[in-house]
Structure 1
């Protein structure tokens, strides 16, 4: 492969691949993702500070998950991984899997929509502010469509097979912008797919926990088979990585098999993380329902006792009369 458009001489600039070099911050970092990460971190921190100053509680695990999600996004877009991702399928697949499977899960566990709804002040009567616009968006037909399993599951599957098994991938990889567009797409697809399943934020589609688990297991087998198909392929699946720079000393078919292994592994690890998160959410939901039932039973018991006391009082009045 010659020099990539927009990246002249890359094949002479990259040293032999190692995880230490790949994870090092690089001067040619993807500044769009870096700026986005900083903005999201500042906005989330501002929301937390507003709640804490107000005396409201915000679970400490949520900001930790949010920060970890942003860190994973920066690691695969603003370090050497981004550079290697233009010439090695394994590095590109690492970006894909992290942005579509790991980063979204962590960001969703941060509960950014719930934080925004609690931190934003309601607008004056008769006007619409950011909070009202966010509520309207959550109840819009658009969000109902893009968060429905009939949309999210096919999109999740098509993002794998429709991209790597068609000429679309090689077309996008002809430029840095095409590669950047893929990274944005991977992140968006992951957020849309996992939000109805394990997101802690409110949404138009919130089925029971059994149905959420079923939704997860509908998509994951296709993901695992995708990884196995790449691992077992006897020829190169995409032409972009057919001729990696000689300085890397990488066999493209072996690198493709490694990429398939990464895709397969990421169908297992995030699934376990999501199942653990769902289990905790389910347990908390059952606990809240149990407390509500107990409070309702107490109120009913008090009402029955008051009615019985009133009945006794009436009997006593009749006897006295």
Structure 2
């Protein structure tokens, strides 16, 4: 109990919150590390896109929109009343967790930030050593990134992040500290980005599995996710001590709220799965189309070559005929 109250004082010392409603969840209540992080990410991305457009290069507006929506979704769950309720209500916290780990990463990855960085950063001049672009490339090729972006690492990490956090004392420990809470949120986002990076296949990375493999990777993570949601819904006791009667809005049924949190987890898994499947299907169709075009072009070239060879053959017959005629 004491910890829970301490947690409240950390959070701007406000008393108990009123009932959890959409309007109270959407009041402006900035969490500065996230707000500043999102603004910096927005400015850098914007600068990169503008540099490409000025150069006369293409950069899809859809990607910009996806990036802005991704940053918007992070801001929405970290810089509003939802973040304050996330400190005292399991259901509110779970909304934050789901958006940060499964919606924001997909939107950000659809923005293709790595591709943008590689195109917008100028290569270092000769003799000036490594520039930022060379560092990005070196990082992408590093063993470290190869390991942390490997499905053998990202899938277990994605699953373990759920189970290890809520079914061990870890969650209660982290929630006592403001920095623990911020770290946890950042971790959800990072794990989501790592998990969906090879699956989305928009940005270059060390692992570029084929479409079928990507869909398999997506579906390998989801059942564990759904099962976790069901396990939370069916738990008969409180899983964590952070969310208790002392800090919850008056009249909250804590066990009911925990069931809602499980339901949110269970239901939320469908949303990113649908988005990713649509994105993958579109990419797949595009790549098939590109391949077909390539084959058509190759066939055209081969056809031309055959025609040229045939014409050459006729010409040689013609020459031979003339030689015979001249000789006689």
Instruction: Report the TM-score range of the alignment, normalised by the length of the smaller protein.
Output: over 0.9
Instruction: State yes or no: 1:18 paired with 2:24.
Output: no
User: What is aligned with 2:118?
Assistant: 117
- Measure, in 2, the Cα distance between the counterparts of 1:123 and 1:309: 51
- On the 8 A contact 1:69/1:102 being kept in 2, the answer is yes
Instruction: State yes or no: 1:287 paired with 2:289.
Output: yes
1:74-93 to structure 2, matched below 5 A, reads 74-93=75-94
User: What is aligned with 1:61?
Assistant: 62
Kindly name which structure, 1 or 2, has the bigger radius of gyration based on alpha carbons: 2
Superimposed CA distance per residue, residues 248-303 of structure 1 (whole angstroms, 9 cap, x where no aligned partner): 42111111011111101111111111111111111111111111111111111122
CA deviation after TM superposition for structure 1 residue 13, in Å: 4.5
**Among 298, 306, 317, which residue is 1:315 paired with?**
317
- Measure, in 1, the Cα distance between the counterparts of 2:220 and 2:11: 43
Aligned length: 319
Structure 2 unaligned runs (5+)? 324-328
CA deviation after TM superposition for structure 1 residue 77, in Å: 0.6
User: What is aligned with 2:326?
Assistant: none
CA deviation after TM superposition for structure 1 residue 186, in Å: 0.3
CA deviation after TM superposition for structure 1 residue 7, in Å: 2.1
Q: Secondary structure at the match of 1:12?
A: coil
- Measure, in 2, the Cα distance between the counterparts of 1:316 and 1:248: 101
- On the 8 A contact 1:22/1:80 being kept in 2, the answer is yes
User: What is aligned with 1:38?
Assistant: 39
Instruction: State yes or no: 1:207 paired with 2:212.
Output: no
Instruction: State yes or no: 1:146 paired with 2:148.
Output: yes
- On the 8 A contact 1:51/1:57 being kept in 2, the answer is yes
- Measure, in 2, the Cα distance between the counterparts of 1:174 and 1:200: 38
RMSD value over aligned CA atoms? 1.5
Cα separation, partners in 2 of 1:218 and 1:124, compared to 1, 3 Å = same
Q: Secondary structure at the match of 2:206?
A: coil
- Measure, in 2, the Cα distance between the counterparts of 1:212 and 1:262: 25
Cα separation, partners in 2 of 1:124 and 1:260, compared to 1, 3 Å = same
- Measure, in 2, the Cα distance between the counterparts of 1:122 and 1:212: 32
Normalising by structure 1, what TM-score? 0.95
Cα separation, partners in 2 of 1:102 and 1:246, compared to 1, 3 Å = closer
- Measure, in 2, the Cα distance between the counterparts of 1:87 and 1:137: 39
- Measure, in 2, the Cα distance between the counterparts of 1:41 and 1:50: 14
- On the 8 A contact 1:62/1:109 being kept in 2, the answer is yes
- Measure, in 2, the Cα distance between the counterparts of 1:85 and 1:261: 16
User: What is aligned with 2:177?
Assistant: 175
User: What is aligned with 2:279?
Assistant: 277
**Among 7, 16, 33, which residue is 2:10 paired with?**
7
- Measure, in 1, the Cα distance between the counterparts of 2:65 and 2:11: 39
Runs of 4+ in 1 over 6 A off after TM superposition: none
- On the 8 A contact 1:17/1:248 being kept in 2, the answer is no
Structure 1 unaligned runs (5+)? none
**Higher mean C-alpha displacement, 97-106 vs 290-299:** 290-299
